[in-house]
Structure 1
Amino acid sequence: MIAINSISDFRAAVRNGPYAWPGGYPLYFVTSDGAALSFDAAKAERRNILESIRDRSSDGWRVVGCVINWEDSELVCDHTGKRIECAYADE
């Protein structure tokens, strides 16, 4: 997991994109309450996320990490309900 401890950490993770390098594995964000956020949702809600990181809020928007989705083919974004791509799915 890539720890997100500051606004600059979050911005760097977004700039690096939705895939880990090297390897190209799909990434998603984790909030302080354990919710999963897709990159699209995090970009759309960046103002809420940045404010929560700045204020260290526990409002559901404070992103604390960026993680590879290795095998959870049923992982969905808690904000949009859309499936988050995984690296190794049992299909």
Structure 2
Amino acid sequence: MTGHTARQCSSWILLSLLAISLAQMSGCAGKSTKARYSASSIGSSCYAKALPTAGEGGLAWGDTLSMARKKSLDNCMRYAGRSGGTPDTCQVVLAECKH
């Protein structure tokens, strides 16, 4: 009878630990989602996209249009070089600011 009670107690403890860990994980998931949305609304309002003739391009955000254009060109050159493309042919194809 003592062995049967010990097994019941240990399974109850394991179930409790599982429930606690699941509750903590769901609480953390809710907090990170909320933080992500609030952080994205604070960001820069201008963006630019630069593309090479071959390879991957770059998209970047900046506080000003010129900053976004410069960052996107830098990203384009980096990504085009990594993807076997042509970094010297990067050009900004889209640049605008949200209002």
TM-score (structure 2 length as normaliser): 0.21
Q: Which structure has the larger Rg over C-alpha atoms?
A: 2
Give the helix-richer structure, 1 or 2.
Answer: 2
Higher relative contact order (CA 8 A, sep 6+): 1
